Amino acid sequence: MLGGVLKKCLLILLVVVVYQNWGKIERVFHPSQVASEQTQAKANVVLYATEWCGYCKLTRRFLDQKGIPYKEFDIEKDALAKAYEALGGRGIPLIDVNGTLIRGYDPDKVLAALE
């Protein structure tokens, strides 16, 4: 009986881990969707986000799927909350792509800013 409960807990844990890392897993199975080496080399992306934000999760997944390297700062935890405020704040995610600020989840604008 205890073994069955343990198996169910491990299965639930596995599902949660896979869900949280789906963008990275998907990139392994679909390498053709990865951004070009040239785009990656000149990418300077900073993501200001929170852990609980759904659009922040979508943004992380998108960046991971495209193979775009980024630095992430949790505006509720990191000392860089002042940097977020200096950029105008007002909502998350806030993405700085090579100096271009993008507010909200907008994959097309991110790709355009990388060109």
**Hey, what domains does the chain have and what are their CATH numbers?**
2-114 (3.40.30.10)
pLDDT tens-place string over residues 23-71: 666 666 665 554 444 555 567 899 989 889 999 999 999 999 998 999 9
Torsion, Cα 109 40 75 95, to 10 degrees, reads -10
Q: What's the one-letter identity of residue 76?
A: E
Model pLDDT for residues 69-112, shown as the tens digit of each residue: 999 988 887 666 667 777 777 788 999 998 899 999 999 999 99
What's this model's pTM, rounded to 2 decimal places? 0.63
Angle of the 107-114 helix axis to the 54-66 helix axis, nearest 10: 40
